[in-house]
Amino acid sequence: MSNIEVVGLGALNIDHMYRVERILVDGEAVVDELHSFSGGSAANTIYGLAKLGVNTGYTGVIGGDAGGKILLRNFQLVGVDTSKIRIKRGVMTGSVLCLSDKLGQRSLYVVPGVNSLMTIDDLDLTYINQAKWLHLSSFADDTQFEVLLELMNRLDSSVNLSFSPGVLHSNKKVAVLKPILSRTTILFVNQHEIQHLTQKDIVAGAELCLRQGCHMVVVTLGKGMILKLGQRTVNAVCYIRGADGEYVVEPISPDVISEIDSTGAGDAFAAGFLYGTLNGKQPYDCGCIGDLVARLSLTKLGAREGLPNFTKLAQYYHKYYNKEL
């Protein structure tokens, strides 16, 4: 398996999505639609990379139930190596209850299931250390966070680390995450996560993460927000900060891609950005590719249904940036 470029590690879940008129604080409403999809942050990113033709693998745990079988089959459809995913019999596969309304608001409720039983012994360190990249996302329980800290001590220096902490780990603050941040090549966060993580604004927060040892910080900004950078003001969908400077990606025309569901958009962005990085693109170009993959992912329900293959992404990249992928 020495040809695997990116290995993923993070909670593996089945996403149960309920479309409702509006998210309620208290009351009663009718569910308009119900769908179930394969999910998990790092898993979505690895799926997206595989669909673009990258050799990928995954390590983690699932239950020996129907949900676990669905997760395996979904990975295998796009060629992800699943040989290092451990099956724990008699335990439920992780799941997420997602309520999504017509205003784009979402509420997520995590049922960790078997993910909370993962130990360092469930991870094949040789398998991880032969990859070019490890893409890491969060777990719900502190026990698994300790596993990730132990993994940092045993991760080979040749392996690049990309890290998507999500809301759960961003709430742990910088000091707690420093053992991971100090090892991180690319940190993927959205505007809310970096503010929770650093207690600073986007630009100052990115600077703080660089001081912790991150080589690059990539902040996604949804449909776009106004950033003040020195003497200039720019509408950006992505802010990138590295040792060699900062970059911003401005939004493409809002009517080019219709939005249906924002689930997994950040995971899709990470897939596009990493794809660009693996293919030697500069940070700005990686941000443009990431934004395109994310926006294409919005066109269908679920985190993975709208993810593009190479041909589709190349067509959009050439159309909107007049560049070859």
Percent of the chain with pLDDT over 90: 79
pLDDT at 30: 87
Neighbours of 257 (CB within 10 A): 18
Q: 277 or 32: whose pLDDT is higher?
A: 277
Average pLDDT over residues 228-257: 87
Return the DSSP state at 135: E
Please check the confidence at residue 105 and state whether its pLDDT lies above 70.
yes
Q: What is the residue extent of each domain of the chain?
A: 6-23+30-321
Greatest distance between any 2 Cα atoms in the chain: 60
Please check the confidence at residue 157 and state whether its pLDDT lies above 60.
yes
Collapsing DSSP to helix, strand or coil, 13 comes out as strand
pLDDT band at 2 (very low <50, low <70, confident <90, very high): low
The amino acid occupying position 265 is A
pLDDT at 263: 82
Least confident of 19-23, 49-53, 127-131, 245-249: 19-23
Q: 82 or 229: whose pLDDT is higher?
A: 82
Contact 264, 44 (CB under 8 A): yes
pLDDT at 180: 98
Nearest to residue 131, comparing CAs of 164, 152, 155? Answer: 155
- The H or E element spanning position 283 is helix 283-297
CATH of domain 6-23+30-321: 3.40.1190.20
- Backbone φ, ψ for residue 74 (5° rounding): -65, -45
Axis-axis angle for helices 265-278, 283-297 (nearest 10):
140
Neighbours of 25 (CB within 10 A): 5
